[in-house]
Amino acid sequence: MSLAQTIELAMPRCWRVDTKPHKFCPGCGHGLVLKALGYAIDELGIQDRAVFGCDIGCSLLSWDFFNLDTIQTHHGRTTPVITGIKRANPKLIGIAYMGDGGGYAIGSQHLVNAAARDEKITVILVNNTQYGMTGGQMAPTTLPGQKTETTPYGRDPEKTGFPFQGPEMVAAISRAGAYVARGTVANFRQLQRFLKRALENQMAGNGFSFVEVISACPTNWRTNAEETWNMIEHVLPQYFKVGEIKVPGAPAAQEGEKKDG
Amino acid sequence: MPKDKPIEGEKRVFMTGNEVVAWAALAADADIMFGYPITPQNEIMHYWTRLAPKFGRDFLQTEDELSAGFTTLGGVLAGRKAFTATAGPGNTLMQEPMSMAEAMRLPMVAIITQRGGPSTGTVIYSQQEVTMTTLGGNGEGMRIVYSTATHQELFDYTIKAFNAAWKYRFPTFVLGDGYQSKMRESLTIYDPAERGIAIVPPEPYFGKPGVPGVDRPPSQLRNTYNMEEELYEVVEHYLEDYAKVAPEVAEYHAHYVDDADLVVVAHGVVARAALMAVKELREDGYKVGYFRPVTLRPLPEKELREVAGRTKKFLVAESANGQLARLLKEGAYGCTTEMLPLFRPGMGITPEEVIAEAKKILG
Ligand SMILES: Cc1ncc(C[n+]2csc(CCOP(=O)(O)OP(=O)(O)O)c2C)c(N)n1
Ligand code: SF4
Ligand SMILES: [Mg+2]
């Protein structure tokens, strides 16, 4: 088997082979999330309909990542761009891909309102606890005590708050048809399943779908492989609960819907 | 699916400017409007939301103008004629999506109904959004801006704005103001086909037939570049395109300029006062001319320079502190014409004021 064939087998079919190897740092979580997303798209057979939007942040490096029509937007603005595409052509499957800074800070009003309006799009948000692209500043998700370039002595929750609970917020404000989950790059099969379900939810026209993914930024964390893995597997889940938070048709979600009439 | 024609033949009507814009957008085959409430633009949305469903068109009220602008860009990417309308602080927020439209040559259409500034200012009227609409955002002002003066023009140029946007692929603006928005005026609305105006069809950037990467290359647009040279090459290419189409896009009106000692220059509604003043001054024997750029971007530079070369003085009348004058100075750079100000930031200007100022200058 040639090297090219070997590489091709290791990649989702919807990946663009000619732009690989990808541009993320070694050990970065973004590549894994996009791999899980690629397999989910392959399984659903939606390469002809899926439209991918990436934010400004390290997610921008994915502007030519897939064999999908792709728009690189502005920092925080991927949600409205994908919303506009979906509203204008509902046959397309809209995927908005962003970082925790993009989704929870500068673009939080878009996330909140897209969820509240129940936009039929899928938002995938990579939580690496800081701003990767700009060199490791504090993000809404930064852990208490975590050192970043703008919290050099560690994040003080008294002054700057606690880690943002994104999926929990989205679950609270979205309707019963919404799908909300938090996955992790530490559990690839589960992540792929969550992403597939999120896309299926959009395809079925159920409602908004949102998946946060716990991810790694070894470059700005300044961690070696072992430390990185420890962060992902043991530290971050103490603050961010992994699992499906809202699933259409599940009893809890239906309760909520009845209550708001 | 063929859409019902919103206007059959032509019709004489008496409407507010905001209503005119809604009808013109229908006539131009606009598919979807994204908007956020702000005075004096609101009734564009109000009329659109009443009319749109009758003709299979769509609307979304977004969470802010950033979202209105970026959803408009999404609509365009999906191949629909999408537009928005805003004013003042909303126009400020709108500059971010506008700069992305410039970077990717996306045919976004926006109606700007200028209100007083800075800041929240007034909800009434001004011409203080000229600099922002022509040159705002981080970029090079690769936009088309039509400044309308009458309700008839609001109708004509809203249709033209959609055509220009989709033909040239530069973001395009109809620059109106609160007076035009709220005032009622007589005009003729028409089916563009009856006038021989061909409607430029939209074209999808995304979702064309076939599997991307298999049947066709994926359509991938970016606005970030790694190297100075890469970006420079893209921008140079855009600037070349812009310079090429500029003479074709630029429009102006000129009267009595051949022998004028003084030419009154104005745009938008102020141009109406200017023209009335110039006509009256001519009747009284004053050698006064009139020049009005209809496009503020690109400016009708050649004609401006011709007039500047023939006359000694310009009287620039505008409801801003020299925002038009700055564009004129750049456009007429090197000409020795004196530029005298009649600047009333955020205030209307009457023909009487122009006449008085002209007489003072001419002695
Ligand atoms: C309007 C605006 N403000 C600031 C920036 C600078 N900026 C670029 S990426 C980024 C942060 C990215 O962090 P995140 O969204 O968490 O993505 P990550 O790089 O961590 O994946 C910032 C602040 C920008 N591009 N645009
Ligand atoms: S800086 Fe961090 S998030 Fe960005 S590519 Fe490198 S490892 Fe990934
Ligand atoms: Mg981040």
Within a domain: B97: yes
Within a domain: B204: no
Residuewise pLDDT in 10s, chain A (261 residues): 566 555 556 899 999 999 999 999 999 999 999 999 999 999 999 999 999 999 999 999 999 999 999 999 999 999 999 999 999 999 999 999 999 999 999 999 999 999 999 999 999 999 999 999 999 999 999 999 999 999 999 999 999 999 999 999 999 999 999 999 999 999 999 999 999 999 999 999 999 999 999 999 999 999 999 999 999 999 999 999 999 999 998 765 444 444 443
Q: Which of B176, B195, B214 is a domain's end point?
A: B195
pLDDT one-digit tens code per residue, B84-125: 999 999 999 999 999 999 999 999 999 999 999 999 999 999
Asked whether the beta carbons of B225 and B231 are under 8 A apart, the reply is yes
Of A69, A82, A87, the CB nearest to B218: A69
Q: Measure the CA–CA gap between A25 and B323, rounded to whole angstroms.
A: 47
pLDDT exceeding 70 applies to what percent of chain B?
Answer: 99
Tokens describing residue B318? 């505008």
Residues in Cβ contact with A164 at an 8 Å cutoff, skipping those fewer than 6 apart: A100, A104, A139, A140, A141
Q: Measure the CA–CA gap between A141 and B279, rounded to whole angstroms.
A: 67
- Spatial CA neighbour of B85 closest among B142, B1, B164, B24: B24
Complex ipTM above 0.85?
A: yes
Within a domain: B235: no
Record: contact A74-B96, CB cut-off 8 A: yes
Q: Where are the domains of chain A?
A: 22-249
Task: From chain A, pick out residues whose CB is under 8 angstroms from the CB of B218.
Answer: 16, 64, 66-70
Read off the pTM.
0.96
Within a domain: B310: yes
Q: Which of B195, B215, B235 is a domain's end point?
A: B195
Per DSSP, the residues of B118-186 read: STT--SS--STTHHHHHH-SSS----EEEE--SHHHHHHHHHHHHHHHHHH-S-EEEEEEHHHHH-EEE
We report the CATH number of the domain holding residue B150 as 3.40.50.970
Q: Same domain for B30 and B122?
A: yes
Residues in Cβ contact with B27 at an 8 Å cutoff, skipping those fewer than 6 apart: B6, B7, B155, B159, B189, B190, B191, B192
Ligand 1 centroid–CA B166 distance in Å is 31
Within a domain: B285: yes
Within a domain: B277: yes
Answer whether residue B361 shows pLDDT above 60: yes
Q: Class for domain A22-249, per CATH?
A: alpha beta
Ligand 1 centroid–CA A139 distance in Å is 10
Other Cβ atoms less than 10 A from the Cβ of B233: the count is 12
Q: Same domain for B258 and B189?
A: no
Q: Measure the CA–CA gap between B188 and B15, rounded to whole angstroms.
A: 10
Tokens describing residue B46? 């109000």
What pLDDT sits at residue B4? 74
> Best mutation site among A8, A64, A73 for testing chain B: the one with the most B CBs within 10 Å?
A73
Asked whether the beta carbons of A109 and A141 are under 8 A apart, the reply is no
Record: contact A14-B78, CB cut-off 8 A: no
Task: From chain A, pick out residues whose CB is under 8 angstroms from the CB of B222.
Answer: 60, 63-64, 72
Ligand 1 centroid–CA A97 distance in Å is 13
Q: Same domain for B129 and B267?
A: no
Average pLDDT over residues B149-163: 98
Report helix, strand or coil for B100: helix
CA torsion, points A249, A250, A256, A261, in degrees to nearest 10?
A: 20
Ligand 3 centroid–CA A209 distance in Å is 20
In sequence order, the β-bridge partners of residue A179 are A209
Of A51, A67, A110, the CB nearest to B63: A110
Q: Domains in chain B: how many in total?
A: 2
Task: Provide the domain limits for residue B316.
Answer: 254-362
pLDDT one-digit tens code per residue, B292-313: 999 999 999 999 999 999 999 9
Q: Same domain for B188 and B334?
A: no
Within a domain: B342: yes
Does any CB of chain B come closer than 8 Å to the CB of residue A14?
yes
Q: Measure the CA–CA gap between B218 and B205, rounded to whole angstroms.
A: 10
Q: Which of B166, B195, B224 is a domain's end point?
A: B195
pLDDT one-digit tens code per residue, B63-86: 999 999 999 999 999 999 999 999
Ligand nearest to the CA of A29: 2
- Spatial CA neighbour of B135 closest among B179, B175, B190, B191: B175
Q: Same domain for B30 and B156?
A: yes
CA B137 to chain A, closest CA, distance in angstroms equals 13
We report the CATH number of the domain holding residue B267 as 3.40.50.920
Within a domain: B241: no
Q: Same domain for B27 and B144?
A: yes
What pLDDT sits at residue A110? 98
A129 lines ligand 2 (CB under 6 A): no
Q: Same domain for B189 and B271?
A: no
Record: contact B206-A69, CB cut-off 8 A: yes
B184-190 and B10-16 beta bridge pairing: antiparallel
Task: From chain A, pick out residues whose CB is under 8 angstroms from the CB of B206.
Answer: 51, 69, 71, 85, 89, 92
Band the pLDDT of B2: cuts 50, 70, 90. very low
pLDDT exceeding 90 applies to what percent of chain B?
Answer: 98
**Which residue on chain B is closest to A75 by alpha carbon?**
B96
Average pLDDT over residues B176-183: 98
What pLDDT sits at residue A254? 46
Q: Same domain for B186 and B264?
A: no
